[in-house]
Amino acid sequence: MSEIKSSGTKGYVVMGAAIALLLFVFLVVYIYKANNSGVPESPEYYGQLLLDTVEAQLA
């Protein structure tokens, strides 16, 4: 009888892990796409991008 109860718990754990993995993948894809929208092509502009971001946060 305890095997049946524990299998139900295991099912919920596996389902929760699958949903967590799916949400994690969505989050990673969203951050990846959002990050690429404001990244300059050449590395020498990264400093200015950082300064603009800090100024926008302080304003």
The predicted structure's pLDDT at residue 37: 66
d(CA 51, CA 29): 26
Closest among 40, 28, 42, 31 to 53, alpha carbons compared: 40
Tens-binned pLDDT, residue by residue, of the chain (59 aa): 566 666 788 889 999 999 999 999 999 888 888 777 666 666 666 777 778 888 888 86
At 13, the amino acid letter reads: V
pLDDT at 16: 95
Separation of alpha carbons 1 and 6, rounded Å: 9
Q: Which two tokens stand for residue 7?
A: 């299998």
Which pLDDT belongs to residue 33? 81
> What pLDDT sits at residue 38?
63
